[in-house]
Amino acid sequence: MSRRKSKRDTVIAEASLLVYPVVHAYDEYVQFEQSNAVARFDIPCAEGKMRITFRNTNEEAGVFQGSFTVSDWHTTRMACAKFETEKRVNWSDRISSEMFQSNFAKVCMALHHARAKYHILCATRNILCARGLILNLAWGRAVAKAIHNHITGNPRKDRAFYVIGPNGLLMDTAWGFIQDDLDLVHIIRKMGKTFEATGENRIFDDQYWHDACIDGQFALREIDLSM
């Protein structure tokens, strides 16, 4: 009778399939260790680069560090365009293969989720740009109302960050929190696929439209109407 897979086994299998073969990573680590080098794993990534490193901080401790960086991260404020994570571990003799593989896999999955989130945000932005919604006043008000209703019905979310201004639009501070909340992003994405824009489009020059798309802005903000 086969052994039932543990949660650890599942994470390692997923990480190996989606990011980097975990068992192979441990074999590479052993080679790095023999040469007293920091173990570095560069993972192929079409958007930019993904990297995991492991180094000893002393004889009984070490740290895994992972990063996912989009090539043009410095020109976009999209969440997860530059993402970093780390896992610190301790041992009594030397790090075991089980401990290495388990923590390497956790870092892999953190990077995978960051990359997936970046794709969701980009796809949402592309839908809204293609449909000309981002700078549409009616769309901005509809988004503000939908998000306000969702936040009001969820006691776990802090309503102080999602204030609606006098023009019926969300304040500028809300958007950083919205990008970090995939529930809200999915609401906006679903609305954007079917929303029929009515009313005026705020008149902005081409550069403003370009900047709004690049920055991952999903709707007009109160601050936009004062510009």
**SS3 letters for 42-110?**
EECCCCEEEEEEEEEEECCEEEEEEEEEECCHHHCCCCCCEEEEEEEEECCCCCCHHHHHHHHHHHHHH
The residue type at 132: G
Q: What is the mean pLDDT of each run of 10 residues along the chain (227 residues)?
A: 75 95 94 83 92 90 93 72 92 87 96 93 88 87 90 72 85 75 91 83 57 69 77
Task: Report the pLDDT value the prediction gives residue 207, as an integer from 0 to 100.
Answer: 57
The reported pTM is: 0.84
CA distance 142 to 216: 18
Q: How many CB atoms lie within 10 A of CB 226?
A: 8
Task: Report the pLDDT value the prediction gives residue 203, as an integer from 0 to 100.
Answer: 53
Residues in Cβ contact with 201 at an 8 Å cutoff, skipping those fewer than 6 apart:
132, 135, 136, 137
